[in-house]
Amino acid sequence: MEIILSETLGFCVGVRQVVDLAHECLKKASQKNIPAYSIGWFIHNQRVVKQLSELGLRHIEQPEDAPAGVALVRAHGITDELRNRFIQAGFELIDGTCRNVEYSQKIIRDVNKDDHIVIAGIAGHSEVTALSGVQDNDGVVIPSFVVQNTQDVNNLPHIGGRWVLMTQTTLPASEYKNILQAMKQKFGDSMIIGNHLCAGALRRNKALIDLCGQVEAVIVVGGKNSANTTALVHLVEDNGLPAFHVESAEEVTEQMRCYSIVGLTAGTSTPQSDIDEVYKALKGEML
């Protein structure tokens, strides 16, 4: 069996940064003899989370959950209200917010008071939550509408003013395109685009589409709770190929080895070690 690797796979820049900062968080906490925390799941990969947990990085959601210490802000960011509560509770924050998310939050913070913010994304996704929780200079949350599909766009109220379309930066391009078109049809010149999809995610998707033209099936490596990894699985299926979503080499099956040529890609939270082990398992070197 031949295995072709996607040209873009594994850790993105933002995830690589937050993993490095997780180690910095542990180091700083050790030097000060105080606890180290991650605010929410900083990466959607069980193995990486387990490794850092064993080193002492504890997962918490609220400042009330534990004594003050050094706390890592996840790559998807957090709401301004939650950030302020951690600071007021005496936590020292290490900010792992992806620069794309940070930029998106700044755009929302800088909009005119009469503008209406629309966030295209998955309701409840941590990035969408962070964008929905941006505060103005007076500490008031800037109102926003979250739309997951074109029907949600159709349900938006007909009110005056400018509409600013923001997006979850990792939203599948096809979903964003549909929402953007619906927004243009409904609001016309009253709508402007605030931010854009992550360029790295678009390159990853393009590389996967190219890969689909060369193989019979695709193995996608990544956390089952990772939205971007799940989106890669759907992209393979949309291109008419079988897709197999595995978290580790232990999930590789004989069915995956029955093809003459398969593709291998991975989500943004997948370390190179996981990719290498799945590759070996597909080759039958690690059963």
Residues identified as active-site: 127
How deeply is 285 buried, as exposed, middle or buried, from its count of CB atoms within 10 A (0-12, 13-18, 19+)?
exposed
Q: What is the DSSP string of 223-275?
A: -TT-HHHHHHHHHHHHTT--EEEESSGGG--GGGGSSSEEEEEE-TT--HHHH
Task: Determine the distance from the C-alpha atom of residue 142 to the mean position of all C-alpha atoms in its chain, rounded to a whole number.
Answer: 22
CB of 48 closer than 8 Å to CB of 57: no
CB of 153 closer than 8 Å to CB of 183: yes
Distance CA 74, CA 17 (A): 10
> Look-up: residue for tokens 């968080």?
25
